[in-house]
């Protein structure tokens, strides 16, 4: 396959999504009870910009002329999602770094809720942009389901990563939020979005049917096994057993939240590659 965008683009979308998800889960806990979840919120706000920056640095290595990126400041193309996205990501990174600095130097209580709100809005827009970057190019597999799939995947993976970093507050999160139930709802939403995407590919036009054929023939392992079974269905099943009290969350937390994070990468990587394979 002659790839124009390789794994660095997938990694940018994955790491950026992790950062956005981590930030947003931190925002939710900040507004719910900043004092009780101080440690969690602090870690979220510190990890988020680092992940987004790591993704952006990887993306820069993919560009033929990375230094010219500075020109996107004045040569704006409003019809290009990439042009808009560069702005959004820069704004988010600036705000997220400011928040991280404040949290690190003065603690969570010193944060103004206005700046957290601004960060949350920007994080949401960046999370959506990741999918629109692809759907704006309008290749058959990069259709309008992708922004939803990517956004939900980012929330899932970012939240899972932060739970992994805060295992000590697991019981508290379960007691207050019924964590497995919420995660199962989001996993179901993601499965529905992926189903809509595949259904649309399989049934719409001749070229989308071709994309579907390539998906199920050349990418079946990445799609069915790594993205769907491992990344979505297995955690859904495990958390269902947890809800039914057949398993203890503490025992399954590390592997289950880890496969959600890995599944997010495999799904995004698959979409990036599939779009170029058709």
The residue ranges that bind other proteins (CB under 8 A) are: 4-5, 62-66, 68-69, 71-72, 75, 77, 79-83, 86, 136-139, 275-276
138 vs 221, beta carbon nearer other proteins: 138
Non-local (6+) Cβ contacts of 133 within 8 A are 13, 81, 82, 85
**Least distance in Å: CB of 66 to other proteins?**
7
Which tokens go with 139? Answer: 């290749």
In 3D space, the residue among 44, 181, 176 whose CA is nearest the CA of residue 99 turns out to be 44
Residue 131 vs 180, nearer CB to other proteins: 131
Write the Ramachandran bin of 245: left for phi over 0, alpha for psi from -120 to 50, otherwise beta.
left
* Residue with Cβ nearer other proteins (83 or 218): 83
- Shortest distance in whole angstroms from residue 126 CB to other proteins: 15
Gap between the Cα atoms of 180 and 201, Å rounded: 31
Please list, in sequence order, all residues whose beta carbon lies within 8 angstroms of the beta carbon of residue 4, skipping any fewer than 6 positions away.
276
Least Å distance, CB 5 to other proteins, is 7
Rounded least distance, CB 13 to other proteins, Å: 14
Query: Residue 46 is encoded by which pair of tokens?
Result: 């510190």
* Closer to other proteins by Cβ: residue 89 or 166: 89
């Amino acid at each position: 396959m002659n790839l124009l965008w390789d794994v660095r683009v997938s990694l940018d979308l994955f790491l950026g999504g992790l950062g956005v998800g981590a930030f947003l889960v931190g925002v939710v806990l900040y507004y719910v009870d900043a004092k009780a979840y101080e440690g969690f919120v602090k870690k979220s706000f510190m990890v988020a910009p680092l992940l987004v920056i790591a993704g952006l640095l990887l993306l820069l290595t993919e560009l033929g002329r990375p230094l010219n990126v500075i020109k996107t400041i004045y040569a704006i193309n409003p019809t290009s999602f990439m042009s808009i996205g560069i702005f959004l990501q820069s704004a988010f990174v600036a705000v997220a770094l400011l928040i991280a600095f404040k949290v690190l130097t003065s603690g969570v209580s010193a944060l103004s809720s206005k700046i957290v709100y601004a960060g949350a809005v920007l994080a949401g827009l960046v999370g959506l942009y990741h999918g629109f970057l692809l759907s704006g190019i309008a290749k058959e597999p990069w259709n309008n389901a992708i922004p939803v799939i990517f956004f939900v995947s980012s929330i899932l993976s970012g939240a899972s990563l932060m739970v992994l970093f805060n295992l000590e507050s697991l019981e508290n999160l379960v007691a207050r939020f019924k964590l497995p139930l919420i995660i199962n709802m989001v996993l179901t939403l993601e499965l529905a979005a992926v189903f809509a995407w595949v259904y649309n590919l399989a049934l719409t036009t001749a070229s989308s049917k071709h994309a579907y054929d390539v998906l199920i023939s050349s990418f079946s392992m990445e799609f069915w096994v790594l993205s769907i079974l491992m990344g979505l269905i297995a955690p859904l099943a495990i958390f269902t057993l947890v809800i039914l009290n057949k398993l203890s969350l503490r025992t399954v937390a590390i592997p289950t939240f880890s496969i959600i994070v890995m599944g997010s990468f495999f799904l995004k990587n698959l979409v990036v590659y599939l779009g170029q394979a058709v």
